[in-house]
C-alpha cells in the first residue's frame, strides 16, 4: 500500500494550513517546493520566479528529492507532488507523453489525491503567492484534469473548518487503506 498522499489544488485553497494541522496530529508532511524556491530567490534579490520551464524543472527536482526522502512505512502528506511539477511542464509544452509516463511510474502516490477547491473567503496574496483568484481557479481546474488523466481518484476536500477538513482527509485515508486490504 502506498502511504504517500498528495494534497493539491490551486494556490490559496488552504493546503499549507491543512498540512500544518496534520503535522500537529503527528503525521509526516513534505512542504511545497515552489514557495521555498520563491523565498530563496527573493532573499537574494532575484525576481520571485525564473522563467516557467526553469521554475517547473527546479520544482520537479525538489519534489523528487522529497519523494525519495519520505519514509515508506509511514503516512506522508505532500503539499503538491511530482505530478504538479509535471503539469507545469506540460502547460509550457516542455514535456511529452513518454516523459510524463516515466516520471509517474517512477514516483507513484496513493491513488487517492486530495484536491482543495478555490475558496475566495480565505484567498490572499503575499510575497510568494502573486496569482489572482481567477488564476488559482484555472490551476485548480487544470490539476483536477491532470490527476484524473493519470488515473488518480480525486477527492475534493469540502470548504469548512480546518478540523473538519483534516477529519475528512483522515477518514478518506482510512477508507482507502481499509479497502486496499
What domains appear along the chain, each with residue ranges and CATH number? 4-180 (3.40.50.300)
**pLDDT for res 54:** 94
Nearest to 85 by CA among 61, 128, 109, 56: 56
Is the pLDDT at 177 greater than 80, yes or no?
no
pLDDT of 16-28, one tens digit each? 899 999 999 999 9
Is the pLDDT at 150 greater than 60, yes or no?
yes
**pLDDT for res 125:** 73
**pLDDT for res 128:** 67
* Spatial distance between the Cα atoms of 153 and 147, rounded to a whole number of angstroms: 8
- Whole-model pTM: value is 0.92
* 3-state SS assignment for residue 74: coil
Is the pLDDT at 99 greater than 70, yes or no?
yes
**pLDDT for res 100:** 97
Is the pLDDT at 127 greater than 70, yes or no?
no
Amino acid at each position: 500500500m502506498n502511504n504517500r498522499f498528495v494534497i493539491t489544488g490551486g494556490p490559496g485553497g488552504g493546503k499549507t494550513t491543512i498540512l500544518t494541522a496534520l503535522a500537529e496530529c503527528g503525521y509526516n508532511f513534505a512542504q511545497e517546493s515552489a514557495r521555498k524556491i520563491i523565498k530563496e530567490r527573493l532573499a537574494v534579490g532575484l525576481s520571485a520566479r525564473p522563467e516557467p520551464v526553469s521554475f517547473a524543472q527546479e520544482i520537479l527536482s525538489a519534489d523528487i528529492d522529497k519523494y525519495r526522502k519520505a519514509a515508506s512505512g509511514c503516512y506522508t502528506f505532500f503539499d503538491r507532488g511530482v505530478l504538479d511539477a509535471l503539469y507545469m511542464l506540460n502547460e509550457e509544452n516542455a514535456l511529452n507523453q513518454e516523459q510524463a509516463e516515466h516520471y509517474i511510474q517512477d514516483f507513484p502516490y496513493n491513488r487517492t489525491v486530495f484536491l482543495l477547491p478555490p475558496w475566495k473567503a480565505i484567498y490572499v496574496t503575499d510575497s510568494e503567492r502573486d496569482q489572482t483568484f481567477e488564476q488559482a481557479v484555472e490551476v485548480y481546474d487544470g490539476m483536477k484534469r491532470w490527476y484524473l488523466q493519470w488515473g488518480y481518484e480525486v477527492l475534493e476536500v469540502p470548504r469548512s473548518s480546518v478540523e473538519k477538513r483534516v477529519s475528512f482527509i483522515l477518514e478518506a485515508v482510512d477508507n482507502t487503506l481499509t479497502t486496499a486490504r
